[in-house]
């Protein structure tokens, strides 16, 4: 049990805090959107459009 406590203390003391700002969030969202658009296009659909019946 003592070795587990020592191991956990070492892990807690050696991990670093990860910080990301608005720029990193924007890059993440843009990358995700690009992948989603590619997946929908491969399936023959259009992602992110609302035609409200005009496209039908």
Tens-place pLDDT, residues 1-43: 678 888 888 888 887 776 778 888 889 899 988 898 888 889 8
Instruction: Identify the pLDDT of residue 48.
Output: 73
Is the distance from CB of 37 to CB of 48 less than 8 angstroms?
yes
Whether the Cβ atoms of residue 42 and residue 49 lie closer than 8 Å to each other: no
Average pLDDT, the chain: 81
Q: To 5 degrees, how large is the angle CA 39–CA 25–CA 41? A: 10
pTM for the predicted model, two decimal places: 0.49
What pLDDT band is residue 54 in, cutting at 50, 70 and 90?
low
What is the residue whose two structure tokens read 């910080």?
A: 19
| Inter-residue contact 41 to 47 (CB < 8 Å) | yes
Q: Which of 50, 34, 30 is nearest to 42 (CA)?
A: 34
Residue extents of the structural domains in the chain: 22-47
């Amino acid at each position: 049990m003592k070795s587990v406590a020592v191991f956990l203390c070492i892990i807690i003391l050696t991990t670093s805090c990860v910080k990301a700002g608005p720029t990193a969030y924007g890059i993440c969202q843009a990358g995700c959107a690009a992948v989603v658009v590619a997946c929908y296009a491969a399936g023959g659909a259009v992602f992110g459009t609302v035609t409200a019946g005009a496209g039908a």
